[in-house]
Structure 1
Amino acid sequence: MPPNTTASTGQQPGKSGRKKGRRARLLLLVLVLALVGGVTGGAYWSISTVRASFPQTKGSLTLAGLSGPVDVKRDDYGIPQVYASSDEDLFMAQGYVQAQDRFYEMDVRRHMTSGRLSEMFGKSQVDNDEFLRTLGWDRIAQQEYDKTLSASTKKYLQAYAKGVNAYLDGKDNKDISLEYAALGFTNDYKPQKWTPVDSISWLKAMAWDLRGNMQDEIDRALMTSRLGPKEIADLYPQYPYGRNKTIVQAGRYDEVTKTFQQNGGTSSAGSSAGGSTSGTASASAGLQSQLSGLQNVLDDLPTAVGVNGNGIGSNSWVVRGKYTITGKPLLANDPHLSASLPSVWYQMGLHCRAISSKCQYDVTGYTFAGMPGVVIGHNQNIAWGMTNSGVDVTDLYLEKLSGDGYLYDGKTVPFTAREETIEVAGGTPKKIVVRETNNGPLLSDRSSELVKVGRKAAVDTAAPDRGDGYGIALRWTALSPGTSMDAVFAMDRAANWSDFRAAATLFDVPSQNLIYADTKDNIGYTLPGKIPTRAQGYDGSVPAPGWDAKSRWTGYIDQDELPYEYNPTRGYIVTANQAVVDKAKYPYTLTTDWGYGARSQRITDLIQSKIDDGGKISTDDMRQMQLDNSSEIAKLLVPKLLKIDIEDKDVRQAQELLEGWDYTQDADSAAAAYFNSVWRNILKLAFGNKLPKELRVEGQCLWVDPVNTTGPADETQKVRECGEREADQAQPDGGDRWFEVVRSLMNDEDSDWWSTPRSGTRPAAANRDELFKRAMIDARWELTAKLGKDIDTWSWGRLHRLFLKNQTLGTEGPGFLQYILNRGPWKLSGGEATVNASGWNAAGGYGVVWVPSMRMVVNLGDLDKSKWINLTGASGHAYSAHYTDQTDKWADGELLDWSFSDDAVDESTSDHLVLKP
């Protein structure tokens, strides 16, 4: 599952275009397989294969193991609502139905989480498997199942697995999915039975992609090779507490906070509140090389839900009934994750026909295929949403290695080691040894280059003598058994704020911002998670010296001391990855790397503006807020750009696009296209030639597709796009941290950051306005090359496009399979750090790399008037009508009706399947 490498499959599809595209792909599949298997037999086999894997959605089926009948009612979009009379029947049916729609996706996920991708896809995945085995997600998941999860959770996991296996029973590969039939050309792979641990492991993968500031930790350390403390501080400005509101503004954190505030903001509660890094390991030559090599390993890893831990964001907010049309709360959520096909989310309802101790659930929302329960959504009493909190739960440690051990507190301690065997489809098994220190597994063992570099490492004088070398270990909360699976079921059952808070305490990893609303007009926020405390002098911002006992974690923040808020007087709560709480008002360092609040403050301003005008907020108002395309960085820069005197008439013509522009990044906006190109070039000119080249992320260019093409791209097109970046430069990604960097430098017009050398006929710059002028020139000619000289044909959507690529075979399979399985492009509005966060990475182009993976608005006044949408569709089958049937509406910002009550579900049902014992 490497990063996506395929290119365009056509223009933005309309309804008729989708049908034509599906027919064309099906015809191509028939022709190709006919050539493989013989004209008559091959064509017949291909059509039957496609249809054989489609689920039965009407009539009845016998499912051994059920204690009573189960109804599965699907609407016009194939979204299932399941009705049962016992918890076990409910979750068994959930496993069966999800396997019907998404088993291939589920199978790939469990091979990723267990480090067994090579079993499916051969030697190309061995390096990834080695790293994933080193992390050991499935080992931790097994420990959770054996030791920490409740008996009821184990019972539900067993029932779910039984349902998945009932679906697999008696099926050949071609009866499960088209992808298995394609794999059969070169691989005799056969899916194994599903286990409860397969479900638990997925939470570890999700936690990995939402792991917090590990990338910033690496980057800051690498920067020391070229930049001094002041320059690094310029690139990591302080959070703007005075401008962008924190999540919790008037909440409580128990007696410890009162004591902290009474003492004037000083505390010995287990962590530095000031962010001192005096005790950390400095990034000398050896550590520089170690971290650079580690970064390359991380970039090659497959992603679970995010872009390898980068650019992860989300929006959620809740408004109390005082300010809504219904008089009851409205709750919105749209998690920003990497674009995948099928979507990472699966929409579903789980309903007990009668609530009792035997059957406790009446819940609907979004879950993951492969995992029982509902992760985000609502039940009959409450609703909840999630965004990534970004709290720092990972630390890298530079370890001094010596023979069969590592140095700690002046002594050599033996490694904890285990041997792993990686099975390889079509190849020879490979054995690896995983070594662990008291700070966690040695990530550096997974690269021979890192081992060689470590042995030659020349570190600063604070480190011990070199000896055998150095390695890098990872300390991460998710590498200890936890109870997050318990939390999912507890939230699904919660009836009130007290129940919800209790459930949240079980959600140890990943730490998420949880918002809450109920039908009694209460709203709330709570921060759960297993969050470490550190000794004075260590704040997790850069790698720490593993040999120093003082660098170890000192404990975890008590759940009662974590921030929360309930029914704030302002009447609403907004979370969008901004700071949870003002560091001057809280005794613990949660992280040094919050999102900087561009999205959260825009949402806050939109809500407050509506309130100040005396209006009442509706469900559609919430939807419109989710679609807000306003660019905060454009508001800052455009007035400056318009004051610059431009002599070149072609560049002046482009500059005029910005006159009167409302800073809205609509897909058809030429001004948005030009501004974002100017922004990208400002970043490149101001910072690209000044950052260490080790920061450059090679894999980013693989996300970029050519702009002017209607068919599969060839390799030269991809290389030309990637080649726009200088080989020896690191490029900023352009996220809201860079908004804040540029904002903080705006008044220092002669800062060294604003200097850039002459390039060909392009002028040098010695100050801010000269660099801005140069960026405007470069942007004009960049877009001329991409979109043509006539600016009347320019639009943001021509640059900013979404391609949906089927996992595995849609990224690394033969070209004809990529064409068959992939969809797109869609021309999108929105942008980076915008509420409508169709994110793009300025280091690699303008293509969409993460998206609002779903959108929902829950109406607590009438749950049947709630709305939702998914990025793709319910099905993972390429020729199903529900493969991408929600995507056009998603791209247009529409939401679907979300039925919940029995009557509403019956009215919307188009297919009804009865599962019988």
Structure 2
Amino acid sequence: MTGRRPRRPLPEGGGRAARILRRTGWTALVLALVLSLTGIWVSRRSFPMVDGRVSVAGLDQEVEVLRDENGVPHIYADTEHDLFFTQGYVHAQDRFWQMDFWRHIGQGRLSEMFGESQVETDVFLRTLGFTELAEREFAAAPARDQAALRSYADGVNAYLAERSGSALSLEYAVLTLQTSGYSPEPWEPIDTLTWARMMAWELRSNMEQEIWRAIWAGEVGVERAEQLFPDFPDDKLTILGGTAGETAAQAPSSALMQAIRPALDELVSKDDVLQDLIGPLGPGIGSNNWVVSGAHTATGLPLLADDPHLPIQMPSIWYENGLHCSSCGLDLIGFSFAGVPGVIVGHNDRIAWGVTNFGADHMDLFVEKVNPDDDGQYEVNGQWQVFDTRTETIVVAGADPVEIEIKETRHGPVLTGIYGGVDDLDPEPLTGEVPERFVISVQWTALQPSTLVQAIFGINRASNWDEFRAAAELWDIASQNIVYADVDGNIGYQAPGRIPVRASGTGGTYPAPGWTTDHDWVGWVDFEDLPTAFNPESGIIASANQAPWPLDTDPYLGVDFAYGYRGTRAYEMLWEADRPITAETFAAMHVDSYDRWAEEFLPTLLAIEGDDTVRAAQDLLAEWAIGEDRFQAHSDSAPAALFYIVWQQTMAQVFEDELPERARPLGDDHWFLVVRDLLDDPADPWWDDVATEGIEDRDALLARVLIDAWAIAEERMGDDPADWRWGDLHRATFENQTLGQSGIGPVEAIFNRGGFEPGGTGSVLNATRWRDPDTFDVSWVPSMRMIVDLADFSVSQSVHTTGQSGHAYHPHYIDQASLWEVGEYHPMRWTRAQVEADLQGRLVLVPEE
């Protein structure tokens, strides 16, 4: 090696750079001064009333809201209308800013709140057309579900009638300083449905992987790009047991992928802006859940656990509540989204359920050929068709309205501008041509009217496996792996979703030509053909986003599942656990940070020959392979801190010399398989750093990685390895999605809370993944944890990341974070006696006379 590329050091901090507020010197100064002096006082004005009696228009009868010592409201009503009415009222009490912000995202109306800075974001969101879909969904919903949505909206609006501005939430006081004149409008049922659609976008499956494949194929060729997406490993377990095998995949040409690169760059830029608002998407979105039958427990009845992994945010995405209406057959507790009635994850008096993201392929990108002589036409099988168009007006705070035109093809919305000018390219085997001019469109199952909210209501009301499955069949978007248990001792698993059948017979792993019907969707996978299990012989089911079954199984569901590191660990811990399995077993699993990839990678690292620095790094890493804490990514571990710097440097030095900056590897579990395969070929071209004059092999590059990682560790944590801690690098900060990213220090200090050290990493059960390739700041977290005992619901337990309240400085704003950080829980209080014993407030809502 005659030259070397300088290592890329890790900076001291990171995080998203979105700035939703307009920033000028005067704006920052005024906000900083006003809020630093008045923030706590103004915030207290928005704290909700939790004790006493309130007269409310719209109720049928009196309703009691009992809040326990964790701020969890338990609603006791005598009619279904009053139950959902009061849930809406309570959600608005604690989280209305969050609700208002998310509905504006879903409807592409952020500019109404924040001004011109959000116009381009609104254009992208309006293109997806969620509002029109919500209107159609509501019109098609059963009368009972329509009534529940209306009741919920009425409850929200009853609270809005009592308060406005900063009395609703401190954020409105800040917003008034920035863009005066904004006032929240009443809540409507379609606001709930667009909110739910945004959650589907957040769980949207493999769009990122499709884009990355295309960019990498255009950059290094299809064959080398396919090395970066290996098959599911033979030594990892699927959800339903066994290994996953291989599957046929699309095989595009590098030429087509090169041609569409500018359009993909535009799409990545638009999506990045949206991710800055709602949180990072992609491989960090996941979850764990598992259930064991009574054959493994002391009580003879099942235990069930769940912990969805979602972007870190303030307040938590989850809101815990109890809903009790014995006269209308609803008696349940669990986690809801503020803005959506019912319970998303939890239990009623008969069944319990938990979810993880399925990861099926239900979204495809299409390259649409545009008529060179008419921008209003696109080609289908040799014939020109006219784009469907609609015009929408974006209202902008402090500026004139903006009128936009949105185009759609037969596949779906057009996401990019028109590109072209690429000639004489032969993209066999896909089409034999590259269009002279083209756009990118998207087809996604969630761009059709959905029955998701009907599914949630149905599961809330279900009392047995058959009723649960009938409701799950309606869970058509945001597909999930749902584990099930009931008080009769049954356990089960169902993966619902509207999964397309493609004419090509293979999946949408690359953007496909839209000007033929060769890659069209021609139907849907039948619900009865989707993965399911009921009372398996083993008495154990565990899912962690891995493939549900062998990938060569019909029907085709996708290939971009997690690679089984977490799922296999869950099964191993359940098989090997002392019997009987208890809630304590599950709690230990929730915070288990055993890193199987470290165990697989370490032997190669320890065999590298090198200088004193290499040997020092190897000695420290070797300590991680012995003792009770072997390969545990605990926050106080020095070897873990060094190992993850080594892993980041491996990603950087192996791949960044050939892959574009905006498509740099994140180091998630599919990269484990990429590097594991490369370790078997020390001379593979990926090991060579093309930025240097020499040709590196595996050992030369990994020696350099160890040297550079050691230097970075010293820069970040000091010269003495005894002082190094993984927790000093890997910290969780809960940021308010709007004002917490303002860039104005005093404002961020009011809304954000940080310094938490949850330990873990992305590939372990305690999944705390980072997004930024340069830092270890936590981006995705176990957003809540729940353990349900079907023998006695009153001993079930739960926790989420922050607290019930969305009001800064409220006692329940951040009170659960200290429990969450160390893997502890609070009781899921089920009986009224439990709630009364730990009562913090009793609010009685009385019908207005």
* Equivalent residue, structure 2, for 1:411: 383
CA contact (8 A) 2:75 2:86 kept: yes
* Equivalent residue, structure 1, for 2:312: 339
Does the residue aligned with 1:419 lie in a helix, a strand or coil? strand
CA distance in 2, matches of 1:217, 1:191: 38
Which one of the candidate residues 570, 590, 595 is aligned to 1:626? 590
Which letter maps to 1:300? V
Q: Is the alpha carbon distance of 1:151 and 1:798 closer, same or farther for their aligned partners in structure 2, counting shifts above 3 Å?
A: same
Deviation at 1:639, TM superposition (A): 2.1
Matched, 1:525 2:493: yes
Deviation at 1:80, TM superposition (A): 0.5
Which one of the candidate residues 230, 235, 241 is aligned to 1:243? 235
Which letter maps to 1:289? P
1:353-373 superposed Cα distances (whole Å, 9 cap, x missing partner): x24xxx121111001001100
Which letter maps to 1:658? L
Deviation at 1:465, TM superposition (A): 7.6
CA distance in 1, matches of 2:283, 2:147: 36
Deviation at 1:172, TM superposition (A): 2.7
Matched, 1:581 2:553: no
Which one of the candidate residues 512, 530, 535 is aligned to 1:562? 530
CA contact (8 A) 1:173 1:181 kept: yes
* Equivalent residue, structure 1, for 2:689: 756
CA distance in 2, matches of 1:878, 1:764: 56
Q: Is the alpha carbon distance of 1:529 and 1:400 closer, same or farther for their aligned partners in structure 2, counting shifts above 3 Å?
A: same
CA distance in 2, matches of 1:518, 1:790: 54
Deviation at 1:250, TM superposition (A): 9.2
Q: Is the alpha carbon distance of 1:305 and 1:574 closer, same or farther for their aligned partners in structure 2, counting shifts above 3 Å?
A: farther
* Equivalent residue, structure 2, for 1:700: none
Q: Is the alpha carbon distance of 1:880 and 1:36 closer, same or farther for their aligned partners in structure 2, counting shifts above 3 Å?
A: closer
Which one of the candidate residues 376, 379, 391 is aligned to 2:348? 379
Q: Within 5 Å, give how 1:340-355 maps onto structure 2.
A: 340-352=313-325, 354-355=326-327
Deviation at 1:439, TM superposition (A): 0.5
* Equivalent residue, structure 2, for 1:185: 177
CA distance in 1, matches of 2:200, 2:427: 36
Does the residue aligned with 1:440 lie in a helix, a strand or coil? coil
Which one of the candidate residues 684, 706, 717 is aligned to 1:776? 706
Matched, 1:206 2:179: no
* Equivalent residue, structure 1, for 2:830: 900
Which runs of 4 or more aligned residues in structure 1 lie more than 6 Å from their structure 2 counterparts after TM superposition?
31-34, 464-468
1:140-161 superposed Cα distances (whole Å, 9 cap, x missing partner): 11110112x1111110000000
CA contact (8 A) 1:341 1:806 kept: yes
Give the alignment's Cα RMSD to 1 decimal.
2.4
Name the stretch that deviates more: 159-168 or 273-282. Answer: 273-282
Percent identity (aligned): 42
CA distance in 2, matches of 1:514, 1:652: 47
Deviation at 1:908, TM superposition (A): 2.2
Deviation at 1:651, TM superposition (A): 4.3
CA contact (8 A) 2:637 2:726 kept: yes
Which one of the candidate residues 145, 150, 169 is aligned to 1:158? 150
CA contact (8 A) 2:64 2:75 kept: yes
Q: Is the alpha carbon distance of 1:281 and 1:679 closer, same or farther for their aligned partners in structure 2, counting shifts above 3 Å?
A: closer
Which letter maps to 1:600? G
* Equivalent residue, structure 2, for 1:767: 697
CA distance in 1, matches of 2:504, 2:671: 29
Which letter maps to 2:370? L
Q: Is the alpha carbon distance of 1:616 and 1:280 closer, same or farther for their aligned partners in structure 2, counting shifts above 3 Å?
A: farther
CA distance in 1, matches of 2:32, 2:729: 38
Does the residue aligned with 1:185 lie in a helix, a strand or coil? helix
CA distance in 1, matches of 2:357, 2:156: 30
1:452-489 superposed Cα distances (whole Å, 9 cap, x missing partner): x3466775456698787100000000000011110011
* Equivalent residue, structure 2, for 1:820: 750
1:622-646 superposed Cα distances (whole Å, 9 cap, x missing partner): 0100111111111011122222233
* Equivalent residue, structure 1, for 2:81: 88
Q: Within 5 Å, give how 1:478-877 maps onto structure 2.
A: 478-584=446-552, 586-610=553-577, 615-648=579-612, 650-661=613-624, 662-691=630-659, 693=660, 696-697=661-662, 730-756=663-689, 766-812=696-742, 814-841=744-771, 843-877=773-807
Q: Is the alpha carbon distance of 1:301 and 1:351 closer, same or farther for their aligned partners in structure 2, counting shifts above 3 Å?
A: same
Does the residue aligned with 1:656 lie in a helix, a strand or coil? helix
Unmatched 5+ stretches in structure 1? 8-30, 252-264, 266-272, 446-450, 698-729
Deviation at 1:775, TM superposition (A): 0.9
Q: Is the alpha carbon distance of 1:156 and 1:459 closer, same or farther for their aligned partners in structure 2, counting shifts above 3 Å?
A: farther
Deviation at 1:306, TM superposition (A): 5.0
CA distance in 1, matches of 2:730, 2:406: 42
CA distance in 1, matches of 2:45, 2:496: 44
Does the residue aligned with 1:301 lie in a helix, a strand or coil? helix
Which one of the candidate residues 413, 431, 447 is aligned to 1:441? 413
* Equivalent residue, structure 2, for 1:368: 337
Does the residue aligned with 1:589 lie in a helix, a strand or coil? coil
CA contact (8 A) 1:487 1:506 kept: yes
Which letter maps to 2:641? A
Deviation at 1:500, TM superposition (A): 0.4
Which one of the candidate residues 393, 396, 405 is aligned to 2:362? 393
Does the residue aligned with 1:184 lie in a helix, a strand or coil? helix
CA distance in 2, matches of 1:457, 1:818: 51
Which one of the candidate residues 42, 47, 70 is aligned to 1:54? 47
1:329-371 superposed Cα distances (whole Å, 9 cap, x missing partner): 111110000000000000011001x24xxx1211110010011
Deviation at 1:655, TM superposition (A): 2.5
* Equivalent residue, structure 1, for 2:5: none
TM-score where L is the length of structure 2: 0.92
* Equivalent residue, structure 1, for 2:401: 429
Which letter maps to 2:416? S
CA distance in 2, matches of 1:298, 1:154: 32
Q: Is the alpha carbon distance of 1:60 and 1:830 closer, same or farther for their aligned partners in structure 2, counting shifts above 3 Å?
A: same
CA distance in 1, matches of 2:242, 2:762: 30
Which letter maps to 2:43? V
Q: Within 5 Å, give how 1:287-306 maps onto structure 2.
A: 287-302=260-275, 306=279
1:754-783 superposed Cα distances (whole Å, 9 cap, x missing partner): 223687xxx977322222211110100111
Does the residue aligned with 2:240 lie in a helix, a strand or coil? coil
Which one of the candidate residues 272, 283, 302 is aligned to 1:329? 302
Which letter maps to 1:477? T
Deviation at 1:280, TM superposition (A): 8.3
Which one of the candidate residues 94, 98, 114 is aligned to 1:101? 94
CA contact (8 A) 1:3 1:300 kept: no
Which letter maps to 1:525? Y
Matched, 1:194 2:187: yes
CA distance in 1, matches of 2:485, 2:687: 47
CA distance in 2, matches of 1:55, 1:903: 24
Q: Is the alpha carbon distance of 1:170 and 1:83 closer, same or farther for their aligned partners in structure 2, counting shifts above 3 Å?
A: closer
TM-score where L is the length of structure 1: 0.85
Name the stretch that deviates more: 278-287 or 491-500. Answer: 278-287
Which letter maps to 1:774? R
